[in-house]
Amino acid sequence: MQLDLSGRTALITGSTQGIGYAIAQGLARAGARVAINGRTPERVDEAVRRIQHDVPGAEAVAAAADVTTEAGAAGLLEALPQVDVLINNLGIFGAQPALEITDDDWRRYFEVNVLAAVRLTRSYLPGMVERGWGRIQYIASDSAVVIPAEMIHYGVSKTALLAASRGFAKEAAGTGVTVNSVIAGPTHTAGVEGFVYVLVDPSVPWDEAQRRFMREHRPQSLLQRLIEPEEIANMVVYLSSPLASATTGGAVRVDGGYVDSILP
């Protein structure tokens, strides 16, 4: 398949590392101009340089902004008024006993994981509709469907993304703009390594810690290993391409078979 995004601009939130960076890299390889987002200009600039090194000839621009605030999102929109592909990747997670999750914790997870994505969709969707083409994606999680006991606030926030994605897909019906969510399974990132070592003996080597984590805390996985960020990115790049024009309103799984369902 020829995944050609030449002439398209893609904004990927939270893309200085991990899944977001892998997505930016994949979109750049497909020819898109990628806008790298993070809160710290120094980290954003470093990620731009890495993209340009990893993907020779890539066009990457810095889009430093805290999109979890109205002011930050407004500043980003002023600097980058038009995008063709919006990837709402930014998110936070962490283990916390259910009865110890405070109102402030719940609000923070909603602000970062849900409202930031909704705000950017509200900002960029009208322009996509006017131009008759666009792609919006929300990076959700298996935790949206299989709510983890150790972080139900995270799971609930990701469930909300599935609903937001479906709702905005209806808003964009018949316009040439598609809106989807990607259900990512347990993925190998620096943040997840830290999370694994919260739940598994930190004195054991990483390979053993990963095996124990999957066996003890994610036994439903059919892959039986953590997913690599590039494997998530492959699906995102496809959904961003013209070839995915008939896929909208969906929750597409890249979960290693973690969610026990015969439906997508």
Residues forming the active site: 154
**Pair 235, 262: CB distance under 8 Å:** no
**Pair 104, 151: CB distance under 8 Å:** no
State how far the Cα of 131 lies from the Cα of 107, in Å rounded to an integer: 35
Question: Would you tell me the crossing angle of helices 18-29 and 41-54 to the nearest 10 degrees?
Answer: 40
**Pair 119, 65: CB distance under 8 Å:** no
Q: Which residues contact residue 88 at a Cβ distance below 8 angstroms, ignoring those fewer than 6 apart?
A: 13, 116, 117, 120, 121, 136, 137, 138, 139, 161
